[in-house]
Structure 1
């Protein structure tokens, strides 16, 4: 009996989401030992947040361009921009998790009132949207990669993709706000 991803997109998306989120939360909560990764120089670790800000800002642009392309009916450009965004997201996540495993999360250095009423709510919404995006992104990605373009129109790719792109976009923007608060303002 042949098992095809095409026939099990929701289940495969759910499985990939669980594995991905387990890795993310494992890193953030300290369950992944530092010894698993080679230690980068302090300069490299210091550069990670700044590189990630560039990746995040670039992802914002590629999401907007991808949405614009599909609205114009340009499927090839849409696919290229969304796959580019996915690559940027993966690079961001790998760098972020690498830094978190080696150094932990970054404490907010600003005043408590800003921490409680600006930084923490922004960070919380950013994280919630990022987590909510994962299964949606896997779902639309698997639909797109397992079907010819003509068949995608008969799936929920368009509906779920709109939600995923919107949440992803807001998450990246809020991630940039978190970066600005942590590394530029305070």
Structure 2
């Protein structure tokens, strides 16, 4: 029988590799679009806005979860962080679906803004998202595999602070990227 507590780093690595392979595969066009049913154009066009709303909801959930644990409300913290993870999964599924069928969105604004504002923000957003994925998995796996009474003696509190910070910044920058792609220009 697999003891998850002993396998948290390995499970984190496997989940991270699978997640990043899906993202890079979709963005790179390695996932054939014919494998997926095509939604109407109106649905495909709505996905970026839905994902921005999901990101905003995730930000609120993460902040509320951090507040809950600071106040000692472990059960509320758990529910909010699991909810934030669920929102992340929903975001990822919608993002992967759209990018597989439509491809990445080109920046519609001026080249100077693209070069000096959009690309740096996008790069930071992507880098933090990539680094946050294993931190989030690791933190959640620790929480899922240990009783609450033992979590303080694991890396969960430290890893959780790092994961939440990167997650918050990445989600926030994702909303800025959305605004630059779909609202401002």
Normalising by structure 2, what TM-score?
0.99
Partner of 1:88: 87
Q: Which SS does the other structure have where 1:58 is aligned? A: helix
**Matched pairs, number:** 185
Distance in structure 2 (CA, Å) of the matches to 1:180 and 1:15: 33
Partner of 1:159: 158
Partner of 1:45: 44
Partner of 1:58: 57
Query: In angstroms, what is the RMSD of aligned CA positions?
Result: 0.6
Q: Which SS does the other structure have where 1:122 is aligned? A: helix
Normalising by structure 1, what TM-score?
0.98
Question: How far does residue 77 in structure 1 lie from its aligned partner after superposition?
Answer: 0.6
Distance in structure 2 (CA, Å) of the matches to 1:20 and 1:57: 22
Return 5+ residue gaps in structure 1 as ranges. none
Partner of 2:146: 147
Question: How far does residue 37 in structure 1 lie from its aligned partner after superposition?
Answer: 0.6
Question: How far does residue 116 in structure 1 lie from its aligned partner after superposition?
Answer: 0.5
Question: How far does residue 10 in structure 1 lie from its aligned partner after superposition?
Answer: 0.7
Distance in structure 2 (CA, Å) of the matches to 1:119 and 1:70: 35
Distance in structure 2 (CA, Å) of the matches to 1:145 and 1:124: 32
Distance in structure 1 (CA, Å) of the matches to 2:4 and 2:21: 21
Q: Residues 1-186 of structure 1 correspond to what in structure 2 (within 5 A)?
A: 2-186=1-185
Return 5+ residue gaps in structure 2 as ranges. none
Measured against aligned partners, the alpha-carbon deviations of 1:140-172 in whole angstroms (never above 9, x if no partner) come to 100001111101111000001000000000000
Q: Runs ≥4 in structure 1, deviation > 2 angstroms? A: none
Question: How far does residue 4 in structure 1 lie from its aligned partner after superposition?
Answer: 1.5
Distance in structure 1 (CA, Å) of the matches to 2:169 and 2:34: 34
